[in-house]
Amino acid sequence: MHTEQLMRAVRVHQYGGPEQLKLERIERPEPREGEVLLRVHAAGVNPLDWKIRQGLMKEYMPRTLPYIPGIEVSGVVEAVGPGVPSDLLGQAVFGGAEKGTYAEYITVSAAALARKPQKVSFAEAATIKGGAMVAWRALFEHGQLAAGQRILIQGAAGGVGLLAVQLAKWKGAQVIATTSAANLDFVRSLGADQVVDYTTTPIAQAVKDVDIVLDAVGGETLLSSLDALRAGGTLISLAGPPPLEKAAERRVRAMFSRGESATPLAVLLETLTRLVDEGKLKVVVGKTFALDDVQQAHVLCQNGHGRGRIVLLVAE
Ligand SMILES: NC(=O)c1ccc[n+]([C@@H]2O[C@H](COP(=O)([O-])OP(=O)(O)OC[C@H]3O[C@@H](n4cnc5c(N)ncnc54)[C@H](OP(=O)(O)O)[C@@H]3O)[C@@H](O)[C@H]2O)c1
C-alpha cells in the first residue's frame, strides 16, 4: 500500500458511545461503475448519525462494521468510475452517501449528487441533503401541504425544522413553529407567522386545529402534536414512529416519514439548488468541527438543542 493512497477517515468498529468514533488512516477507495471519487470538503452531522452509532437504527439503517458514519456531504469530484461522464471531474457537488461521509475521500453514486449551489459555502451545502430533502418529502409528498393550510412545525430551529419552515412558507402555508427562548427571533427570521416557546407554553394552550403537524422532536412532544390537530388532520413524525392508536382515537392520520423520496433524487437536489441560488431557501450551519474533533461534534448533536446543522470541516 502506498502512503499517498491513504486517507483519514472516521470509523466505528462497534456500536456505542461517542468514544467509538475512531479517526484512522485507511486506504482511499476506488470508484466503481456509476460512482465518483469525491474529495470531501464538509460532512453534515445529523442526529441520525449518533442514533446509528449507538445501534438504535439497526432495524431501519443497518451497517456492516466497521463503517464510516455520515449521510450528507459536499466536495469536489476527483475521479469518475466506469459509465460516469468525465465532465463531472472537478465539479463542486453536494448530496447524500450511503457508504459514509466522515472521510477525506469517499466513493458515491453519481446519481446521489447535484451541482453545489453557487451562493453557499461547502459547509452550508453539506447540510442540504439531510435537511431540505427530508423536509420536502415530509411536507409535500407525505403531508401534501397546500397553499393556505395551517401547519405546526415542532423543532423549528434544527437542521430539518429551519428548512421546513422556509419551504412551507414558500408553498404559501401559514406556519406556526416551536423552539426555545434562545431561538425565537431566529425562527421568526425564517418567516414563521407565529413562534411558540415550548419551554414556557404548553402547545395545546397556544395552537389548535392545524391541518398538519411536522414533528421533528418525538417523545412527549409527539404526543402534544396530536392535541394541536383538527379532526382529519395529518401528523408527520420524523424522529420515530407516531402513536397510531392514539391518532386513530382522535381521527387524525399519522405517519413516520423516512426513506428516499418518490421524486427522483437528481430532480429534487436540482430543485433545492435552484431555490438556494434564488435566495428562497437559506441554509444555516450551527457549529463547525475539525475531523479530529468528531467525538465532540457527536456529543453536541446528541444533546438535541441548538440552531442549524453541525458540520465537520474536512478540507475547507
Ligand atoms: N425520518 C428521517 O428521514 C429523518 C431525517 C433526518 C432527521 N431525522 C430526525 O429528525 C429529528 C430532527 O432532526 P434535526 O436534524 O432537525 O435535529 P437538530 O438539528 O439536532 O435540531 C433539533 C432541534 O430541536 C429543537 N427542540 C428540542 N426539543 C424541542 C421541543 N421539545 N420542542 C421544540 N423544539 C425542540 C432544538 O431547539 P432548541 O435548542 O430551541 O431546543 C433543536 O433546534 C431527529 O430526531 C432526527 O433523527 C429524521
Cα–Cα distance measured from residue 6 to residue 17, given in angstroms and rounded to the nearest whole number? 26
**Ligand 1 centroid – CA 232 distance (Å):** 25
Query: Of the candidates 211, 239, 256, which is a domain's last residue?
Result: 256
CA triple 75-76-79, angle to 5 deg: 130
Do 170 and 143 fall within a single domain?
yes
CATH number, domain of 186, equals 3.40.50.720
Burial status of residue 86 (CB atoms within 10 A of its CB: 0-12, 13-18, 19 or more): exposed
Residues 150 and 99 in one domain: no
- Residue 219 CA: which ligand 1 atom is closest? 31
- CB of 18 closer than 6 A to ligand 1? no
Give domain status of residue 262, yes or no: no
CATH number for the domain that contains residue 94 = 3.90.180.10
Ligand 1, atom 22: nearest CA belongs to which residue?
158
In a domain, residue 156? The reply is: yes
Considering the domain boundaries, does residue 110 fall inside one? Answer: yes
Ligand 1 atom closest to the Cα of residue 307 is: 43
Most ligand 1 atoms within 8 A of CB, residue of 179, 187, 299 to mutate: 179
Residue 314 CA to residue 42 CA, distance in Å, equals 5
| CA 308–ligand 1 middle distance (angstroms) | 10
Strand (E) positions, 20-164? 21-27, 35-45, 72-80, 92-96, 105-109, 113-115, 150-154
Looking at the structure, do residues 28 and 100 belong to the same domain, yes or no? yes
pLDDT for 263 equals 85
Tell me the three state secondary structure of residue 90. Answer: coil
State how far the Cα of 184 lies from the Cα of 195, in Å rounded to an integer. Answer: 6
Instruction: Give yes or no: residues 70 and 147 share one domain.
Output: no
Asked whether residue 9 falls in the same domain as residue 101, the answer is yes
* φ and ψ at residue 255, rounded to 5 degrees: -150, 155
State the closest ligand 1 atom to the C-alpha of 179, by its place in the atom list counted from 1. 40
75 lines ligand 1 (CB under 6 A): no
113 plus 144 within the same structural domain? no
Residue 189, in any domain of the structure:
yes
Nearest atom (ligand 1) to Cα of 238: 1
Please work out whether the CB of residue 308 comes within 6 Å of at least one atom of ligand 1: no
What's the structural domain count of the chain? 2
- Looking at the fold, whether 198 and 225 belong to one and the same domain comes out as yes
How far, in Å, is the centroid of ligand 1 from the Cα of 159?
A: 7
- 143 lies in the same domain as 251: yes
Give dist(CA 316, CA 308) in Å, integer: 19
Same domain, 88 and 155: no
In whole angstroms, what is the distance from residue 134 CA to residue 261 CA?
Answer: 8
Residue 272: inside a domain: no
**How many angstroms separate the alpha carbon of residue 13 from the centre of ligand 1?**
27
Q: Are residues 251 and 290 in the same domain?
A: no
| Distance in Å, CA 285 to ligand 1 centroid | 14
- What are the Cα distances from residue 272, in Å, to 34, 40, 115? 23, 20, 10
Instruction: Name which residue sits closest to atom 45 of ligand 1, judged by CA.
Output: 239
Query: Domain residues for 309?
Result: 3-127+283-313
Residue at 273 is within a domain:
no
> Please, are residues 232 and 252 in contact by the beta-carbon 8 Å criterion?
yes
**Looking at the structure, do residues 104 and 145 belong to the same domain, yes or no?**
no
Does some domain include residue 293? yes
How many Å lie between the centroid of ligand 1 and the Cα of residue 158?
A: 5
Q: Is residue 156 within 8 Å of residue 184, measured between CB atoms?
A: no
**What is the pLDDT at residue 313?**
98
Q: Is residue 80 part of a domain?
A: yes
**Cβ(114) to ligand 1 under 6 A?**
no
> 225 CB less than 6 Å from ligand 1?
no
> Is the CB of residue 157 below 6 angstroms from any atom belonging to ligand 1?
yes
Q: Are the beta carbons of 95 and 129 closer than 8 angstroms?
A: yes
The reply to whether 226 and 295 lie within a common domain is no
CB atoms within 10 A of CB 61: 14
Pick the last residue of a domain from 216, 239, 256. 256
List b or e across 209-246, with b for residues whose CB sees 16 or more CB atoms inside 10 angstroms.
ebbbbbbbbbeebbebbbebbeeebbbbbbbbebbeee
Nearest alpha carbon, ligand 1 atom 9: 239
Give mean pLDDT in consecutive 10-residue pieces for the chain, a chain of 316 residues.
79 98 98 98 97 94 96 98 97 95 98 95 96 94 97 98 98 98 98 98 94 97 96 96 96 91 87 95 97 98 96 90
**For residue 4, what pLDDT is reported?**
63
